[in-house]
């Protein structure tokens, strides 16, 4: 299960920090990421942090590079999305996605319920 929090209403230029807590089989998390969906638009990728043998790898959408930072805690079951210099176009419902892997190489996606972020101009 995933539980997101941290959304809210802010003004342009302000910051928010989203959290996503994973419960259950967190030892097999291959990736944790954030997506968002604005009204009338398709869900889009925001950022992901992938667990690799060589270490974590972060990937960002071009629209948020330099403003958003994704991270995971030392316990590995919580992902954060630090959002700075927010713009009205960042307004959306933000969803957390976790990718779990099994010993046979299969991967399974799990989604949270979403948290609303609204940026006023």
DSSP 42-109: --EEEEEEEEETTEEEEEE-TTTTTTEEEEE-TTSSEEEEEE-S--GGG-EEEEEEEEEE-TTS-EEE
Q: How many Cβ atoms from other residues are within 10 Å of residue 32's Cβ? A: 29
pLDDT in tens, 41-97: 999 999 999 988 888 899 999 999 999 999 998 677 899 999 999 999 999 999 999
Q: How confident is the model at residue 24 (pLDDT cuts 50, 70, 90)?
A: confident
Res 108: pLDDT: 92
Contact predicate 94/45, CB 8 Å: no
Mean pLDDT of 28-40: 94
């Amino acid at each position: 299960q995933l539980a997101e929090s941290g959304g809210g209403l802010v003004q342009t230029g302000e910051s928010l920090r989203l959290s996503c807590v994973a419960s259950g089989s967190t030892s097999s998390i291959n990736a944790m990421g954030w997506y968002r969906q604005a009204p009338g638009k398709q869900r889009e990728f925001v950022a992901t942090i992938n667990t690799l043998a060589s270490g974590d790898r972060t990937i960002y959408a071009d629209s948020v590079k330099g403003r958003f930072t994704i991270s995971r805690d030392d316990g590995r079951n919580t992902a954060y999305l630090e959002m700075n210099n927010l713009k009205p176009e960042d307004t959306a419902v933000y969803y957390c996605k976790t990718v779990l892997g099994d010993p046979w190489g299969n991967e399974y996606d799990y989604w949270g319920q979403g948290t609303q972020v609204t940026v006023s101009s």
